[in-house]
Amino acid sequence: MVWEWSAGFEAFCGRFAARFPRVESRRQMRLYVRGLLGEVERKNGWTLAESAGDIGPERMQRLLNFYAWDTDGVRDDVRDAVVEAIGDVERGVLIVDETGFLKKGATSAGVARQYSGTAGRIENSQIGVFLAYTSDRGRALIDRELYLPEDWAADSERRRAAGIGDDVTFATKPVLARRMIERALDAGMPFGWVTGDEAYGQDTKFRLWLESREIAHVVAVPKNAMVVSMQLAKVRANRIIEGLDHSAWRRLSCGAGAHGQRVYDWAAVDIRPLRDPRCGHWLLARRSTSDPTDIAYYVCFGPADTDLAELVRVAGSRWAIEESVQTAKNETGLDHYQVRGYTAWYRHITLSMAAAAFLLILRQDAKKGDHLPAIST
């Protein structure tokens, strides 16, 4: 019923009330998030204002640009809500990835001619680096960082115009990913593994940092990545896999996809012989069942008794962040913003993530047969 949904929504927004010191900003936050959950095709300042009964977008713009509120605090509250809904200390996985937001002009914070996975080519775009959480019970975005290209970081005039503070310096995407994972660690998030694609796996410093924090991980690497074999030689990943016997491969599913189970042939090889005996290092390979030349590679680190099926499960969980980003774009307006400022970008993205978390909670409660979302206030 409508009143049940509305009551659950008000309880959910009550999580964030302390982050908004004024009544006006709290009211606008509720209207903004409710608008993001609406059915209009485009969820920008004008359409959100219309859904709230306003004659123009000024109040929505003030929420993103001028009102004083704790954006990162809301981010933390979203993360906590997700953990309450789907947290799992053994099966939980953190996933890092990026997505592009196509933009016109040169004034939006961080916009540049750069590769966008969204477009599949170099385009004028902003790049957001995201952290998602997934378990057997669901998935959701829990953190975000806007990538600031080097030319932006060095241009004081552009930075000032976009509202970028002096404390914001250039950071690579893997460094941004590290910051988000550190926040998850500091918050005591229940997770057992981290995974990511080649953009992060090929960064040796990122992998070594994960290892130094004893964070188990399965991260993709290119075929020419150099790994230390059991013979203490540095060898390309594809060369090690080419030498495997047919019996080394096992056909396994890495999870359900849009068209059923994602089934591949998998093999794992021990690497890094000089290691802590409590830990294992593996080179994992995923081979297409229809094209044996189509092989993906992963460098893995984790407890020594980790089996192949577990490595496959973690590798397959990476798709959860792509699905989470696409869901947020389709359902809660993640990429519908029309803001230029640095702070405004974070605020819109955070509120979109909050709206997506509310949908996650609704889905979880629907599975359990609850009438009202089980939301703490």
pLDDT one-digit tens code per residue, 269-282: 999 988 888 999 99
**pLDDT bucket at 40, cuts 50 / 70 / 90:** confident
How much is the pLDDT for 118? 77
> Which pLDDT band holds residue 4 (cuts at 50, 70, 90)?
low
Measured between alpha carbons, how far is residue 9 from residues 2, 255, 281 in Å? 10, 32, 45
Q: Is the pLDDT of residue 331 over 90?
A: yes
pTM over 0.85: yes
How far is the C-alpha of 255 from the C-alpha of 126, rounded, in Å?
A: 31
Higher pLDDT, 65 or 373: 65
Region 351-358: mean pLDDT is 98
pLDDT for 201 beyond 90: yes
